[in-house]
């Protein structure tokens, strides 16, 4: 169904918001989508894991996939609780590689610092540790200080350079401000705890990202507690890196990382 046929407060784009899961050997790859997104955003990660014979899962996070009103009733604490639940199930089968795009990268970092003994690696794509300033960071901070009632802010299109992918990418067509504020706060708090992330880490970011600035990749890298880290910037890509114009190069980086970690 085309986004034009969907009312405000629902999904725009094409496809389904279902969770993704493939069977395979350990380490299990656990991949998380971004704020207002769906598992489609990290389908590339699941595909690479499957090619390598690894088990993989991309869950649909609370509040996502149906109505913006559902998302408005959740906060970062709800998304992290769900991520912890999926991690607990995955780790029962062996080590886990955590991956995520945007908000999903924050969830991956939390899991890595909370479970250092069982996390085999981290893949952080377009991490949203800090949001671009002045927009959307400054207005969000101002709204938070003023303690305004919750409201929705419309979204024209996802941040993608690939025109075809931009037209079909499945995401909400609006975002609830209080839920977004919880994400902004979570990023600031987590940035002070990154030294507890000890697992090998791959940081991928688009140079043209209009949501989370490319500097995020470097600012996170210097704070990580691991010396095993690689940062790659894709010069022609924007925020939804896994579906943008350099997605095959992104795939190659993720494949090489997972291949090394699982060897």
In the chain, the DSSP E strands lie at 11-12, 20-22, 25-32, 54-58, 96-101, 119-125, 152-154, 171-172, 174-176, 201-206, 229-234
Q: What CATH fold (topology level) applies to the domain 3-262?
A: Rossmann fold (3.40.50)
Inter-residue contact 154 to 8 (CB < 8 Å)? yes
pLDDT digits 0-9 by tens, 176-232: 988 999 999 999 999 999 999 999 999 999 999 999 999 999 999 999 999 999 999
pLDDT digits 0-9 by tens, 29-73: 999 999 999 999 999 999 999 999 999 999 999 999 999 999 999
Categorize the per-residue pLDDT at 144 as very low, low, confident or very high, splitting at 50, 70 and 90. Answer: low
pLDDT of residue 3: 38
């Amino acid at each position: 169904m085309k986004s034009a046929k969907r009312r405000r407060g629902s999904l725009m784009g094409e496809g389904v918001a279902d969770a993704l899961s493939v069977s395979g050997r350990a380490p299990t790859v656990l991949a998380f989508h971004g704020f207002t997104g769906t598992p489609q955003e990290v389908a590339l990660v699941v595909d690479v894991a499957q090619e390598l014979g690894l088990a993989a899962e991309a869950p649909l996070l609370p509040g996502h996939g149906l109505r913006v009103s559902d998302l408005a009733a959740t906060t970062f604490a709800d998304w992290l609780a769900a991520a912890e639940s999926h991690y607990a199930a995955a780790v029962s089968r062996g080590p886990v590689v955590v991956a995520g795009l945007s908000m999903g990268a924050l969830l991956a970092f939390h899991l890595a610092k909370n479970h250092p003994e069982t996390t085999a690696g981290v893949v952080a794509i377009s991490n949203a540790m800090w949001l671009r300033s002045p927009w959307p960071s400054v207005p969000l901070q101002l709204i938070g200080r003023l303690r305004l009632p919750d409201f929705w802010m419309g979204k024209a299109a996802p941040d993608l350079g690939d025109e075809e992918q931009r037209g079909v990418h499945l995401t909400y067509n609006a975002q609830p401000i209080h839920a977004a504020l919880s994400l902004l706060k979570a990023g600031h708090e987590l940035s002070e705890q990154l030294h507890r992330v000890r697992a090998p880490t791959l940081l991928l970011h688009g140079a043209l990202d209009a949501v989370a600035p490319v500097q995020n990749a470097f600012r996170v890298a210097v704070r990580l507690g691991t010396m095993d880290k690689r940062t790659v910037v894709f010069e022609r890509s924007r925020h939804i890196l896994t579906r943008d114009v350099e997605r095959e190069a992104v795939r190659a980086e993720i494949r090489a990382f997972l291949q090394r970690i699982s060897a």
